[in-house]
Structure 1
Amino acid sequence: MANEINRVEEQARLERVKMRIQASIAELEPEVSGLRSQVTDIRKRFWEDVTLNTSTHEDFEETFYSIKQQEALLSERERSHLKRLQRLNGMKRLLPSPYFGRIDFTEQGTKESEAVYIGVASLTDEEELSFLVYDWRTPIASMYYDFMPGPAHYDTPGGRIDGEMTLKRQYQIRDGELRHVFDTSMTIGDELLQQALGQGADAQMKSIVATIQREQNAIIRDETSRMLIVQGAAGSGKTSAALQRAAYLLYRNRDKLRADQLVLFSPNGMFNSYVAAVLPELGEENMQQTTFQEYLSYWLEGSLALEDPFEQMEFVLTAPQTPDYEARMAGIAYKASERFLHALQQYALWLGKEGMRFVPIRFQDRELISAARMREQFYSYDPNVRLANRVILLRDWLLKELSRWERREREADWVQDEVNYLDPESYDEAYRTVLRKYRREEAVFEFTDQYDGDRRNQGPGEESLFDFADQEEELLREMIVKAHAEPLKREVKRLHFIDFIGLYVQLFEDEGAFSRMTGETEVPASWPEICRQTQEKLNGKQLFYEDATPYLYVKELIEGTRINTEVRHVFVDEGQDYSPFQYAFLKKLFPRARMTVLGDFNQAIFAQATNLQEEASPLVRLYGEEETRLIRLVRSYRSTQEIVSFTKSLLPWGGDIVPFERSGEKPRFLQASSSAARAARMAGDLAALTAEGLGSVAVITKTAAEASEAYGLLLEQGCESLRLITKETLSFEKGIAVIPSYLAKGVEFDAVLVYDASSAVYGRESERKLFYTVCTRAMHKLLLYAVGEWTPFIDGIDRGLQNMVELS
């Protein structure tokens, strides 16, 4: 704690800074308002101030330059308004808490020490041409996170600056009032971090810039790695650090990087809502946020009904006794692997020689162009031309063939039949078109003086340049055939003449065919059953989740049109739940992007998991060791020391996890004699937790069906304000949530009630990580319930870490 003299000085400085901020706000508000009015006025009067005259070439030029002048004026005013509005919003963010840290730094070769105050935005003293507050993303501010008092340095575009840090101080300022001042030798003083972590869970994740730890700062400021892998323990702040990283990248590259060039792949839609406030809180626009499922669905374009990862997860958790289970699990593992990726690459080479499948183009009951004719044309092209380019050549050939068919078809009997039944509007349209053509020809003849003056007065129905009736009927035939041809051409342009489903199905005809087409000699022992399941699903126009990425990969190898060169950074949260195949697909989709992957292999609950913590991880191979950096976060900040000590004991390899020293209650184990007794006790505990002021409480079940059951039983017990969370839930809200295990990933709650921690629910070794994930959602309190025997995962755990209660 800083001494009283220092506190008085700091209070006086805070008041001066607040006055400067208030003066800036007072100055900026009328400017912003005035510019907004100017922009609105220019938009309203845009065409009034433009001279419209196109009678001559000179008049056209005058009109063109008048429009450009107004556009330039509007653009300049909009830029000025946006710049001042951003500055005003920055001042308003600073006012309640102008800064949170300070370092005193003496640059090498100088004697004067500079006091560097650090906040969420920069503030300058224009009279003294100095910084009153430095933005936390500036190079000099990095020392606050990376060094203790003593030798320190920071990097600038001009090179490294060395020197001595003589002071590190932290502040807690709320609503403009100085609450606490701490001098520390650590990155972040325990007092400040304790207070931040001791607060309740919120409906949205908040910025952590005031409590960034040194290892998190390394994640935030990494600008060289093509692939940055963050393997972090539950509650280690990896997601928060990634969002601050996005804010840092936007700040550092403001002139060449936009928010829409960053993409975050989240575990579910609710998580998108949970993290949506962080970047705006730091004065940045939100980056693009989506889920991998949404991305897959978008590119499938409704051609197949896609299973989502949560349906797959429900199968994994609920169907182990079914006859299809083992084969399906083997299929999931194989289709997620790098081996299957390489097999599909070889398959594409094979298709360049033979095996392409096409859909014939049909009209009414006729086959206009057969699949065999398409295949013959496709393989007539130079085999050295890549597959995707040959597809384009075939597309262009098909469009020409359809144009030839269109011209021939005008004389068909069915066309005459349709002409006879056309509505009056169509006849009127044809008549007007012919009349315009007639008048154009009359004008040409008049201009060239190639007909006599008497014919100038003739009109339709008299002897004329051409026969109106014949011309009208010809035009109607043309209109009818064109109307029918356009949908066919549209389908061709969309490459719907390729039988993509058939191309994927033929991979699963039998083991011999698969080996012949891909060169793959080793397949799972249950391959015949995997083939049957896959074909059955596809024949029903459905797609297993594990097939979605391989299917689109094959489609992309053939089409070659799906890459996005605009995106520069891809963030993948809960990265352990993506397969090596999916990562390779993301790399192909975003060839110019750097990738940041955040995850915890201890929480790898999906069947296609990727190990993030190994140096030999497939992610390291994706870009190579030289362009890959792996950062491990082992300290857990979310939960109390007692909860972390218990949850790390659930993992035989969990000894590396380090709890932050924030004390609380031991996890409580409540064993009931019946489901009714459990529901009654749980209802009482929920009421007590709410009365304590815990605003965010979760009842976490294993599956969606169990969540519905728990929700119903608790409602019967009189529990109010319950919210059942499903995969369709799009927003995270405070209160009591009943939620399946896999939807709780990435989110934290003040208290967690594990609905059923019995061996009947969590009994298989493959569910250990799922149970660990559920328990690590709790910040302050963890309560576990069971009817019957406890899960074997707690066997051997020190009883001193548990508070066991037996219910009647």
Structure 2
Amino acid sequence: MDAEQWNKEQARVDDVRSQLKARIARDEPLVSELKSQVVGIRSEFWDDVTVNLAESDDRIETAVSMKQQAEVLSERERSHRALRSGLQKMRRLLPAPYFGRIDLVEDGTDGTPEPVYVGVASFLADDGETFLVYDWRTPIASLYYDYGPGAVRYETPGGEITGEMTLKRQFSIREGRIRSMFDTGMTIGDELLQDVLSRTSSSQMQAIVGTIQQDQNAIIRNDRERLLIVQGAAGSGKTSAALQRVAYLLYKHRSRISAEQMVLFSPNPMFSSYISSVLPELGEENIKQTTFQDYLELRLGKRWRLEDAAEQLEAVLAGPEADEEIRLRAAAIRSKSSVRFLERIEAFASGLLRSGMRFKGFRLRGRVVIARGQLEERFYGMDASIRLPNRIELLKEWLLEELERLETEERDADWVREEIEYLDNEQYRKIHKSLSRQRRAGADEDESVLEERLLRAEVARRTFRPLRRLAESLAWVDAAGLYKDLFRGEHAADAEEERWSEIGSRTLSALEEGRLLHEDAAPLLYLTELVQGFRMNTAIRYVIVDEAQDFSAFQFHFLKRLFPMAKITALGDFNQAIFAHSTELAASAWLQRLYGPEQTKTIVLRRSYRSTRPIVEFTRSLLPDGSGIEPFDRPGELPVLVRAGGPEERDRLLAADLLELEASAATAAVICRTEAESRAAWERLRRMPGLEKLKLVTKDTVKFETGLLVIPAYLAKGVEFDAVLLYDASADAYGEERLRKLFYTACTRAMHVLRMYAPGEPSPFFADAAPGSYREANPARS
């Protein structure tokens, strides 16, 4: 780039920043003044409203006065929000107003190229029409990500625009100074990516839109299919693209979609904290974030002691694969997470229209007032064409009417007279208020008789209130009993799943103890909803599922029914499918059928950006089909296998490496196989000099922090660290094929440094690694 071009571009940066500073200086006092006005109006609202309710005309005047004051407040609040939003965008632009430029000649014009500068937000000149910077989400900005110089086209609300791109230029600008600038072709230049990727990690994911790649842009701007499946290699930018997609959709549909109409299902609360700053950095509000476990707890937590996914995985990893208990548990997880089991439950629910429905009777003071048999008789006495949830609704209406009738009957019972003696003073005052009202209304009934009648009604009403609540909540539908039926009798005999009899026996034992295993939670809730009717949230328009490979068929079907108006984006990596119930996203036939092939699109991200080339070349060689993963060409040191003479030497060597890395790495993570191993490692390592502040991350950790950490591999998914130190890379820890993906997941968390410690014979996975993709260090023999 010659000096003349450089100086010209720097002069434009200076000019744009000058206009930004002037606009910020103009708007800051306006925002402050409007805020003061809003606070003042709120605090003095009733002082400025004329309140007079004596006459009808006065009441009208009061209503008009309140309406006028509310309208003034609303107008000031809108003005304040709009001006504050614009001010925040200008402040974000000030250090680096833009990161890209394209020159476009639109077809049908005079052939003069129009320069288009792309940044994190739009900025107009004082005339209100000339774009000095275009928001990266505008239709024309898509050209920067999707094309190189040559023929181009893009969609606008008014139709398709075609033309020719004559220049594509990228900038790295910091605090108003151009650090680097280069003209490029199709892809975002490696120089810019090298700069971004060589930085150290932080406690929160960064919102970087200047390096979005073409395949990532396809994810961001897709707004057609109901289901968008993204299968991406570790470090391919899946989550970043998903959050940028949210920001794009909020921008595109800003007149009809708000952040409250989007929800993100993340793997755990710590991950939610890690990504929480991305959308605010992009100028948008955070969307709702939750986990599927949170939803299960909401729906089932009052009735059951729920096992979560982490506890389930810990149970499976607690012993060798050959252990009979481990084999049976793994078989149960696979079976209960399968499409076959889902179809069995759906067929079972359909059969309940003919027979097998289970109900609970209603008891009052130790005696049955509505028997199960009555409920069954009415249920099966309905028209055969009525759907299952509709029958339940009709039965509920009958139950409420029947309870009202029984309540009236019970008022004359002897027990009611006895209960009157136990009414407290407050209840007596309530009765006497009612008595006074009826007396004023002209009731001619004897006062003592009227008092007793009211007291009896109050006692009966209080006694029947819990029964009415049970009726309203459908607690009389024995969903747990129905689920148990799948594991006993003829239903168990018909099952084709492996070892179903043994699985059923263990399942029934857990349910009898009030425990709900993780693999049972979604199927039980799915059956419950099939019977009672699905709860729906029609307000949600977009659902993002991260680590979607860890979602079962039941969970995906649940999301489809729970959010019937929503489009779903499912992001994941089957190579990190560490749970027994995992879903192969790109190759799953049942997932393709969820909305149908015509409403489903799959995008595969093959390039890995997180780690250096040596780390990616090592980790991809661990996988049978890892050759499809493309490393970004960022140099770095080879991964290191450290052979130690035993656990004590391993701890000493690892501690020394941690202290050495602390000076250069923002985050260095000691990754262990399980939480139990993590806690034991943390206890040993933090006793060593200099490691007293070593942090332990558990499933209860809600905030991701930088520094020196110890963390289980499954909690590290989706997060990245400057350095990863694999605590035990021996054959004792990772000797079984089922642990290959867990080993891969742990290693792919490393950005710059990967060291693996084997206090014994190394894992057999090293034998599969590409020759020369790692080096060995043997301090014991050096």
Task: Report if TM-score (shorter chain) is over 0.5.
Answer: yes
- Is 1:264 matched with 2:242? no
1:712 is matched by which residue type in structure 2? E
Over residues 201-231 of structure 1, what are the superposed CA-to-partner deviations in whole Å (9 max), with x where a residue is unaligned?
1100011201101111111111112111111
Cα distance between partner residues in 1 of 2:97 and 2:670: 39
Which residue in the other structure is 1:498 paired with? 477
Deviation at 1:371, TM superposition (A): 1.2
SS in 2 for 1:644: helix
Runs of 4+ in 1 over 6 A off after TM superposition: none
> Is residue 146–residue 186 contact of structure 2 (8 Å, CA) maintained in 1?
no
SS of the aligned residue for 2:633 comes to coil
Instruction: Specify the alignment match of 2:740 in structure 1.
Output: 768
Bigger Cα Rg = 1
CA distance in 1, matches of 2:384, 2:44: 60
Identity %: 51
CA–CA distance in 1 between the matches of 2:210 and 2:583? 32
2:526 to 535, 553, 560: 553
Mapping for residues 624-663 of structure 1, pairs under 5 Å: 624-663=596-635
Cα deviation, residue 47, structure 1: 2.7
2 CA distance for matches of 1:623 and 1:441?
65
Aligned residue for 1:210, secondary structure, equals coil
| Deviations 1:315-334, CA, capped at 9 Å, x for gaps | 22123344333232222112
Structure 2 partner of 1:179: 179
Distance 1:29 1:441 in 2: 68
Letter in 2 for 1:158: G
Contact 2:107 2:163 in 1 (8 A): yes
Supply the AA of the counterpart residue of 1:226. Answer: R
SS at match of 2:480: helix
Question: Counterpart in 2 of 1:481?
Answer: 460
Comparing 487-496 and 193-202, the one that deviates more: 487-496
In structure 1, the partner of 2:72 is: 73
- Structure 1 position 374, deviation (Å): 1.3
Query: How many angstroms apart in 2 are the aligned matches of 1:580 and 1:421?
Result: 54
Partner of residue 677, structure 1: 649
The structural deviation recorded for 1:618 is 2.4
* In 1, Cα distance between equivalents of 2:649 and 2:560: 52
* 1:162 maps onto 2:162 in alignment: yes
Question: Residue 59 of structure 1: CA displacement?
Answer: 4.2
Corresponding residue of 2:19:
20
1:541 aligns with 2:514: yes
Aligned to 1:592: 565
Q: Secondary structure at the match of 2:544?
A: strand
The alpha carbon displacement at 1:140 in A equals 0.6
Rounded to whole Å, the distance in 1 between the matches of 2:639 and 2:559 is 40
1:679/1:717 contact within 8 Å kept: no
State the shift of 1:737 in Å. Answer: 1.1
Contact 1:135–1:141 (8 Å) recurs in 2:
yes
Measure, in 2, the Cα distance between the counterparts of 1:794 and 1:734: 30
* 1:612 partner letter: L
Report the equivalent of 1:447. none
Farther-moved stretch of structure 1 (422-431 vs 754-763) = 422-431
Q: Which residue of 1 aligns with 2:659?
A: 687
Alignment-mate amino acid for residue 370 of structure 1: A
* Aligned-partner Cα distance in 1 for 2:539–2:115: 41
Q: Partner of 1:74: helix, strand, or coil?
A: helix
CA contact (8 A) 1:144 1:187 kept: no
Unaligned runs of 5+ in 2: none
* Aligned-partner residue type, residue 739 of structure 1: I
Residue correspondence of structure 1 range 712-731 to structure 2 within 5 A: 712-718=683-689, 719-731=691-703
Gaps of at least 5 residues in structure 1 are 443-464, 516-520
Matching of residue 753 in structure 1 with residue 725 in structure 2 = yes
Paired with 1:677 and 1:761, the residues of 2 have a C-alpha distance of 17
Q: Which stretch of the first structure deviates more once superposed, 552-561 or 182-191?
A: 182-191
Amino acid paired to 1:537: A
Q: What is the letter of the counterpart of residue 315 of structure 1?
A: A
Corresponding letter in the other structure for 1:26: A
**Which position in structure 2 is the counterpart of 1:219?**
219
- Alignment of 1:437 with 2:435, yes or no, is no
Residues 62 and 414 of structure 1: CA distance in aligned 2, closer, same or farther (over 3 Å): same
Given candidates 699, 716, 722, the residue that maps to 2:670 is: 699
TM-superposition CA deviations, 1:216-254 (whole Å, max 9, x none): 111111111211111111111111111100000000000
Structure 2 Cα separation of the partners of residues 634 and 525 of structure 1: 35
| 1:710 alignment partner in structure 2 | 681
Contact 2:492 2:504 (8 Å CA) reproduced? no
CA contact (8 A) 1:556 1:562 kept: yes
User: Secondary structure, in 3 states, of the residue corresponding to 2:229?
Assistant: strand
Q: Name the CA distance, whole Å, in 2 between partners of 1:770 and 1:136.
A: 37
Give the counterpart letter for 2:308 in structure 1: D
For 2:491 and 2:191, the matched residues in 1 are separated by 66
When residues 425 and 546 of structure 1 are mapped into structure 2, their CA distance, relative to the original with a 3 A threshold, is closer
Given that 2:193 and 2:211 are in contact with CA atoms closer than 8 Å, whether structure 1 keeps it comes out as yes
3-state DSSP class of the match of 1:310? helix
Partners of 1:50 and 1:354 lie apart in 2 by 65
Cα-to-partner distance string for 1:272-317 (whole Å, 9 max, x where unaligned): 0000100000110111111111111112141111110111111221
Distance, in Å, in 1 between the alignment partners of 2:91 and 2:718 is 30
Cα deviation for residue 173 of structure 1 reads 1.5
In the TM superposition, residue 579 of structure 1 has moved relative to its aligned partner by 1.4
Per the TM alignment, residue 580 of structure 1 is displaced from its structure 2 partner at its CA by 2.1
8 Å contact kept, 1:105–1:163: yes
Correspondence 1:261-410 to 2 at 5 A: 261-319=261-319, 320-410=321-411
TM-superposed CA distance for 1:71, in Å, is: 2.6
* TM-aligned CA distance change 1:60 to 1:387, over 3 Å: farther
The alignment of Structure 1 onto Structure 2 pairs a total of residues equal to 777
Aligned to 1:570: 543
- CA drift of 1:261 comes to 1.1
Greater shift, 230-239 or 576-585, is seen at: 576-585
Q: Which residue of 2 aligns with 1:240?
A: 240
Give SS of 1:324's match: helix
CA distances 1:654-690 after superposition (whole Å, capped 9, x unpaired): 1111111110100011111111100011100000001
For residues 25 and 315 of structure 1, what CA distance do their matches in structure 2 show? Answer: 57
Q: What is the TM-score of this pair, normalised by structure 2?
A: 0.97
Q: Is the 8 A contact 2:200 2:722 kept in 1?
A: yes
Residue 89 of structure 1 aligns with an amino acid whose one-letter code is Q
Q: 1:606 is matched with which residue?
A: 579
CA distance in 2, matches of 1:428, 1:311: 53
- Cα-Cα RMSD: 1.6
C-alpha distance in structure 2 between counterparts of 1:5 and 1:92, whole Å: 29
- For residues 728-774 of structure 1, what are the alpha-carbon distances to aligned partners after superposition, in whole Å with 9 as ceiling and x for unaligned? 01110000110011101010000000000111110111111111111
CA–CA separation in structure 2 for the residues paired with 1:796 and 1:41: 70
Question: What SS does the corresponding residue of 2:441 show, helix, strand or coil?
Answer: helix
Give how far 1:796 is off.
4.2
Q: State how far apart, in whole Å, the 1-side matches of 2:433 and 2:301 are.
A: 40
Normalising to structure 1: TM-score of the pair?
0.94
Q: Which moved more, 1:403-412 or 1:570-579?
A: 403-412
**C-alpha distance 421-551 of structure 1, shift in aligned 2 (>3 A):** closer
CA distance in 2, matches of 1:55, 1:480: 40
Query: Greater CA deviation, 475-484 or 548-557?
Result: 475-484
User: Which range moved further: 581-590 or 233-242?
Assistant: 581-590
More deviation in 196-205 or 219-228?
A: 219-228
Please tell me whether residue 528 in structure 1 is matched to residue 529 in structure 2.
Answer: no
Question: Is the 8 Å Cα contact of residues 335 and 498 (structure 2) preserved in structure 1?
Answer: no
Deviation at 1:58, TM superposition (A): 4.4
